[in-house]
Amino acid sequence: MAETTQQGSGNVADRNLALELVRVTEAAAIAGGHWVGAGDKNSADGAAVDAMRSFLSTVDFNGTVVIGEGEKDEAPMLFNGEQVGSGEGPASDVAVDPIDGTRLTALGMNNALAVIAVADGGSMFDPSAVFYMDKLVVGPEAADMVDLRLPVKQNIHLVAKAKGVKPNQVTVCVLDRPRHQGLVEEIRATGARTRMILDGDVAGAIAACREGTGVDMMMGIGGTPEGIVTACAVKATGGVIQGRLAPTDEAERQKAEDAGLDVDRILTTDELVTSDNCFFAATGITDGDLLRGVRYRGRTIATQSIVMRSRSGTVRMVEAEHLAKKWEKYERLHA
């Protein structure tokens, strides 16, 4: 049953919208999951986008995609500015990633997710000026202690102290990129361990905020849109994300300045998403630190999802079993 509260937020509908949005991520995961290990990330993404868009139209809310497939993908659906949902109710910002980790899906590797986040209209940071940001994500224990401006060693020691462990018992999730060579060396110099991921830093970031994942922190430069999606989820966990824009060249730096952005400023969780009423849903496509991937079992399809609402601080794990024949239209077709 959906949650209700006595007093509305004045914006996004007061029901727990995430419980409806999980149907959307389940659909994207099931459709995209047929392409796991097939080596074709474009077909995987196309299938997931089609399924997500179809199911979004059935959800009763008035959404505008502010973080979508984007111009770089020349997306015909779920593009920035597209109206989604039934159109009922107050305006909402929507961030979608039908597959966070298309390459992971194509290669059959861990941590691919179908993701959606929704917040009050006008509350999500506009990431269009700078595509990358330097990020630091930790869970609730160390949320009030870390600071992106501090040396890597100091932040690791602060997390270790907050968790009551030694630095060599801290695991830091880092995207496997050449740009992170120095960061990885600094982390390992403290005795801390690294968990390198090929893609999918939304999964890695949320894992840093959840117990039992084996991840204590996430650090490094990743996508700004993914940072905003992460902020919606982090708000429900009590953790924190801090970000600093990371222009790739002088032209992008100038673009940020023209947009009135300070690239040296540390952006807090509440600046990345100003609303206190955020909804987040993700469904595993492949197995990972956060969720189990889609399981195709002949007559049935099994999914595992995580559903969050920041206003109530509620996090739910959703195990679902779907009749395969109801999903035949999304099956991968062989030549």
Asked if 234 and 269 count as a contact pair (C-beta separation under 8 A), the reply is: yes
How far CA 115 is from CA of 19, 129, 229, 281, in Å, comes to 13, 22, 8, 6
Is 102 annotated to bind a ligand? Reply is yes
145: three-class secondary structure by DSSP:
coil
Is 226 annotated to bind a ligand? Reply is yes
Cβ neighbours for 135, distance < 8 A, ≥ 6 positions apart:
148, 201, 205, 218, 219, 220, 221, 222, 227, 230, 241, 242, 243
Is 223 annotated to bind a ligand? Reply is yes
Is 97 annotated to bind a ligand? Reply is yes
Is 45 annotated to bind a ligand? Reply is yes
Cβ neighbours for 262, distance < 8 A, ≥ 6 positions apart:
none
Is 73 annotated to bind a ligand? Reply is no
Is 132 annotated to bind a ligand? Reply is yes
Q: Report the candidate in 44, 75, 57 with the shortest Cα–Cα distance to residue 67.
A: 75
Is 179 annotated to bind a ligand? Reply is yes
13: three-class secondary structure by DSSP:
coil
Q: Rounded CA gap, 312 and 321, in Å? A: 27
Tokens of 17: 């919208």
Annotated binding site: 45, 69, 97, 100-102, 132, 177-179, 199-201, 223, 226
Annotated binding site for substrate: 100-102, 132, 177-179, 199-201, 223
Annotated binding site for Mn(2+): 45, 69, 97, 100, 226
